[in-house]
Amino acid sequence: MDLVQIFVDESFEHLQALEEALLELEDSPGNAELINTAFRAMHTIKGSAGMVGFDHVSYFTHHLETFFDRVRNGEFALTAAMSSLILECRDHIKSLIEQQSPPELMVQSEALLARLHQLAPVTQSAPATAPAKSTVSEADSLAGYWRIEMTPHTTTFTEGFDVLPVIRELQGLGESLVSYRWHAPDTPFNPLSCMLHFTLLLSCNVPRSSIDEAFMFVEGDWQIQIEKISVLEDARLGDLLVENGVVSTEQMEMMLDSKPRTGEVLRDKGIATDHQINQALQQQEFIRKQTQSQDAPQQTLKVPASKLDSLMNLVGELVIVQSAISQHAVETNDDKLKTIAEELAMLTAGVRDHTFDIRMLPIGSTFGRFRRLIRDLSVDLKKEVRLHTFGAETEMDKMVLERIGDPLVHLLRNSLDHGIEMPEVRAEKGKPREGSITLGAVHEDGQIKIVIKDDGGGLNTDRIRQKAIERGLINEHSQLNDDHIHQLIFEPGFSTAEKVSDVSGRGVGMDVVKTSIESLQGTIHISSHAGQGTQINIYLPLTLAIIDGLMVKVGDEHFILPLSAVEECVESPREYHRQGPRLIKHRGERISAARLREAFSITGEGPAIEQTIVTRIADERFGITVDEVVGQHQTVIKNLGKMYRQVRGLLGATILGNGNVALILDVADFYEQCKYQLAQSTLGANVNVKPH
């Protein structure tokens, strides 16, 4: 990759960070960490833009950097108006980078900067009186950095206390760095009195009270100062020396005029000793290290996606070879080989899981984008909406995550546009003016469940029914319950928007969403209560590359069913008289079932005792009848390729241990197909599902 590309990629990441920080700041105003994130984002873009010759970007971000610097110095608080403007600026920077700063954009830069300066007027005097850490009281999040200054009372030792236990306890709270100095260097040394002052930098995840506890027995006598510090990448040596009381602010400012390195200058002038400077340097090092370790989870090692894909393919091959060996070991009944095969199986599973893990990303990484969408849209639509999220840490396959983005945008837009009512309407109904949309993800039954929920008006069942009849999706006599009617909005060509709005309802609608979800082997279900809101559940597989499968046999052919869809297997004597999809009794419930042999036109007759695999699709059960259940099978999913893209009911193919190819069933799609047949063959069909 060339430098410019790296710059562009990284800048987008920083802009993303900026946006997320701004949006989060709306919820926790004044959060020092977030302001720092914003500052750092601008700082870094400014620097790297200059390096690759994006001078205008560098110039523009410089102003934003200054702006955030002033916010974090407590010069002024970030207002909502400022946030909005910064978001505009963020988009502007993105355009500047993408379009390489054409003149018309450069003109816009000035307009934006003028507005920025208006909101945050430039003051002449430096904020000398404003304490650099005005955000000390801000302790929303537990994770933080603390500077603890303590001067034990001079009688500490003689009174039988010691400093060691206290400091040891503090160090037990997290990562720490201790340094000491003589509290009053001019006082004559007395071995019996405590003459030391300690500074402890602590990085920990505990509340302030835990820190206080360490001082429980000494509180009254010791001079203790505990403050939360913001950790900056550029914790400067000079600042640390000032904070450590080694040099005064005035001395420091004097120094800053001279160019050489602060430490050297101070040493040469005899203001600070080597010892003092070294301590400050250690603190600097500690702070830097902490900052890095804090950022570590977000910092990514960039690997081209293609390399990851080839690794994935190789793992796939490995899994196939491994299952071939296992099979061979069982067949030959060779104990030694069996042991080796078992070990290999374990190792392979490990390699597989780790490779998957590399591809897994937390869904939270996309939440920022949605928050912005909701924010902008609600302004456009003059609605008041708050987006709540949960399960940001839920991990999904990178590819799934990338492809789920657009459908989610569509669904969120829909909720906002059609679901949430105008504030006045909500007030009349006795609801809070501010609507709420919840977006979240959880792992459930080996699948990922994504929830989009709003507390809006809910679906209009009658209108949907009406529309479905108009569109010929159902006929007037169809007896559908409300839930079935609601699912109709996912049918092709269905859109209930009364007028085509800018936001949604462009005719392409929920059917596209459904198709995208299905292409990810997922399912979607909507449930709604009039007046109370709508909830959409999306179920997605954890990964698309390797699944646990159940191998079955029909005649000589092997098929694989995704194990995640399988509930249980039941055997029953074959009823010769029934052909085609049928209803069977299962645990007091009537479920539809189809013979794979018939559905796939496989020649020959099934055995006298046939096996039916009960599968679950969303909240429905469906039986798939086969000749024989072979067993569980690690299945590497291979695409069937372009030639077979029209074939329905199949998820792909996999290669068996003997080198033959077996097909993997797409249970949900297969069910759809059979449902259609069933509806046609059953008298008085009450579900009219269109064939695809």
Partner 1 sequence: MNDAKLEKLQILSFVLDDEFFGTEIGIIQEVIEYREVTKVPRTPEFMLGVTNLRGQVIPVIDLRRYFNIGCQAISVDTCIIIIELMLDNERTSIGVLADRVCEVLELDVGAIKPPPNIGTSIDNRFIYGIADHDEQLIVLLTMSKIFSHEELQQAFESGSVASQQHEVASESQ
Partner 2 sequence: MIISAPEELNIFNVEALYSSIVEAEGQDLTLDCGNVTEVDGSGLQLLCYCQQQQLASLINLSECIQSAAPLLGMQDLLAAKD
**Which residue type sits at 432?**
P
What's the min distance (Å) between Cβ of 180 and partner 2? 5
Residue 538: count other Cβ atoms within 10 Å of its Cβ.
24
What's the min distance (Å) between Cβ of 168 and partner 2? 6
Q: Does 177 bind partner 2 (CB under 8 A)?
A: yes
CA distance 312 to 316: 6
- Are 89 and 62 a contacting pair, CB within 8 Å? no
Partner whose footprint covers residue 643, from partner 2, partner 1, none (CB < 5 to 8 Å by kind): partner 1
Q: Does 171 bind partner 2 (CB under 8 A)?
A: yes
Segment contacting partner 2 by CB under 8 A, of 108-116, 172-180, 541-549, 625-633: 172-180
- The pattern of x and - marking residues 272 through 301 that bind partner 2 according to CB under 8 A reads ---x--xx----------------------
List the interface residues with partner 2, window 313-352 (CB under 8 A): none
CA distance 279 to 395: 42
**Residue number with CB closer to partner 1 (85 or 325):** 325
What's the min distance (Å) between Cβ of 404 and partner 1? 23
Q: Does 308 bind partner 2 (CB under 8 A)?
A: no
As to burial, measured by CB atoms within 10 angstroms (0-12 exposed, 13-18 middle, 19+ buried), residue 142 is exposed
CA distance 637 to 352: 13
In DSSP terms, 635 is beta-bridged to 547
**Residue number with CB closer to partner 1 (320 or 385):** 320
What's the min distance (Å) between Cβ of 659 and partner 1? 5
Q: Does 168 bind partner 2 (CB under 8 A)?
A: yes
**Residue number with CB closer to partner 1 (272 or 554):** 554
Partner whose footprint covers residue 653, from partner 1, partner 2, none (CB < 5 to 8 Å by kind): partner 1
What's the min distance (Å) between Cβ of 211 and partner 2? 17
Calculate Rg over the CA atoms of the chain.
33
Partner whose footprint covers residue 162, from partner 1, partner 2, none (CB < 5 to 8 Å by kind): partner 2
Partner whose footprint covers residue 189, from partner 2, partner 1, none (CB < 5 to 8 Å by kind): partner 2
- Are 684 and 674 a contacting pair, CB within 8 Å? no
Taken in order 455, 456, 458, 464, is the CA torsion positive or negative?
A: negative
> What does the block give as tokens for 224?
């203790």
What's the min distance (Å) between Cβ of 155 and partner 2? 11
**Residue number with CB closer to partner 1 (351 or 381):** 351
As to burial, measured by CB atoms within 10 angstroms (0-12 exposed, 13-18 middle, 19+ buried), residue 448 is buried
Residue 90: count other Cβ atoms within 10 Å of its Cβ.
20
In a 13 Å sphere around the CA of 23, the CA atoms on its Cβ side amount to 22
As to burial, measured by CB atoms within 10 angstroms (0-12 exposed, 13-18 middle, 19+ buried), residue 137 is exposed
Binding partner 2 (rule: CB under 8 A), the pick from 179, 447, 504, 654 is 179
CA distance 437 to 616: 29
What's the min distance (Å) between Cβ of 654 and partner 1? 8
What's the min distance (Å) between Cβ of 153 and partner 2? 12
**Residue number with CB closer to partner 1 (497 or 602):** 602
> What does the block give as tokens for 81?
């108006």
DSSP, collapsed to helix, strand or coil, labels residue 379 as helix
**Residue number with CB closer to partner 2 (191 or 631):** 191
Partner whose footprint covers residue 35, from partner 1, partner 2, none (CB < 5 to 8 Å by kind): none
Partner whose footprint covers residue 278, from partner 2, partner 1, none (CB < 5 to 8 Å by kind): partner 2
List C-alpha distances in Å: 621 to 257, 667, 668. 77, 11, 10
What's the min distance (Å) between Cβ of 222 and partner 2? 12
Q: Which residues contact 458 (CB under 8 A, 6 or more apart)?
A: 419, 528, 529, 530, 531, 532, 533, 534
Binding partner 2 (rule: CB under 8 A), the pick from 110, 162, 343, 428 is 162
List C-alpha distances in Å: 139 to 31, 67, 229. 8, 23, 10
CA distance 565 to 635: 14
**Residue number with CB closer to partner 2 (12 or 157):** 157
**Residue number with CB closer to partner 2 (17 or 246):** 246
**Which residue type sits at 47?**
G
Partner whose footprint covers residue 320, from partner 1, partner 2, none (CB < 5 to 8 Å by kind): partner 1
In degrees, rounded to 5, the angle at the alpha carbon of residue 565 between the alpha carbons of residues 599 and 545 is 95
Q: Does 178 bind partner 2 (CB under 8 A)?
A: yes
What's the min distance (Å) between Cβ of 240 and partner 2? 14
Sheet holding 620-626, edge to edge: 566-573, 609-617, 620-626, 589-595, 582-586
CA distance 315 to 358: 13
**Residue number with CB closer to partner 1 (583 or 661):** 661
Give the chain's length.
692
Size of the site for partner 2 (CB under 8 A): 26
Among 484, 491, 417, residue whose Cα is nearest residue 457? 417
Strand extents, DSSP E, 305-359: none
* Dihedral in degrees, nearest 10, Cα atoms 679, 681, 682, 685: 40
**Residue number with CB closer to partner 1 (272 or 637):** 637
Q: Does 163 bind partner 2 (CB under 8 A)?
A: yes
Segment contacting partner 2 by CB under 8 A, of 162-170, 372-380, 468-476, 545-553: 162-170
Segment contacting partner 2 by CB under 8 A, of 1-9, 175-183, 441-449, 661-669: 175-183
As to burial, measured by CB atoms within 10 angstroms (0-12 exposed, 13-18 middle, 19+ buried), residue 407 is buried
What's the min distance (Å) between Cβ of 142 and partner 2? 24
Partner whose footprint covers residue 648, from partner 1, partner 2, none (CB < 5 to 8 Å by kind): partner 1
What's the min distance (Å) between Cβ of 569 and partner 1? 21
Q: Does 180 bind partner 2 (CB under 8 A)?
A: yes
**Residue number with CB closer to partner 1 (178 or 630):** 630
List the interface residues with partner 2, window 190-229 (CB under 8 A): 191-192, 194-196, 198-199
Q: Which residues contact 261 (CB under 8 A, 6 or more apart)?
A: 237
Partner whose footprint covers residue 683, from partner 2, partner 1, none (CB < 5 to 8 Å by kind): none
Binding partner 2 (rule: CB under 8 A), the pick from 5, 79, 99, 158 is 158
**Residue number with CB closer to partner 1 (347 or 647):** 647
In DSSP terms, 131 is beta-bridged to none
DSSP, collapsed to helix, strand or coil, labels residue 133 as coil
Contact residues for partner 1 (CB under 8 A)? Answer: 313, 316-317, 320, 557, 599-602, 638-644, 646-650, 652-653, 655, 659-663
What's the min distance (Å) between Cβ of 375 and partner 1? 38
Contact positions toward partner 2, by CB under 8 A?
Answer: 152, 156-158, 160, 162-164, 167-168, 171, 177-180, 189, 191-192, 194-196, 198-199, 275, 278-279
